[in-house]
Amino acid sequence: MSRFVLLDRDGVINDDSDEYIKSPEQWRPLPGSLEAIALLNRHGFQVAVITNQSGVARGFLDEATLAQIHAKMRREAQAHGGRITAVYYCPHGPDSACPCRKPKPGLLKQFAADWQANLAETVMVGDAFRDVQAAWAAGAQAVLVKTGKGLKTLAENPHLDVPIFDTLYDAAQFLSQKN
């Protein structure tokens, strides 16, 4: 059975934008994030991305453009020696009652069903409280990074009892050492 680390996308792997990432050109990796994916892979982890992408529901981009953005992300990871095994996204808006939009655990559960993954042994790395909530709701382990919305998340949840790291690379080093 494979071991997985699940990553939120915006604010964890790449720059986040309140204006949304609407094209492959706007997708820019955070320093060290692609190397972090490669580090996790080298230590026996497969990496999957679990991301809310309400820009689709809001009409800022279509699913074909989102697929191009994810193809670029995967190519960039590969160019740095890493591999993203799968990408799961929720295209719905925040007012949707869908079960897949974080903080609901639907995407994590779909991932687990598709990959026969034990969520209790899976780590979800995010920058927002909804990432932590989704991990908890799915029975996964939550890790928070201070990039993206991470500092705001910590300010709003000062007693958050999860491992907290400055960057995805720092989190990857910690997870790799536990291996």
Q: Which of 10, 16, 127, 170 is catalytic?
A: 10
6 touches 124 (CB < 8 A): yes
| Residue 18 is among the residues annotated as catalytic for this protein | no
58 touches 94 (CB < 8 A): no
62 touches 56 (CB < 8 A): yes
Please, what is the angle between helix 168-178 and helix 33-42, to 10°?
A: 10
Q: H or E segment at 164?
A: strand 164-165
| Residue 10 is among the residues annotated as catalytic for this protein | yes
Q: Which residues make Cβ contacts (< 8 Å) with residue 173, sequence separation at least 6?
A: 39
Catalytic machinery residues = 8, 10
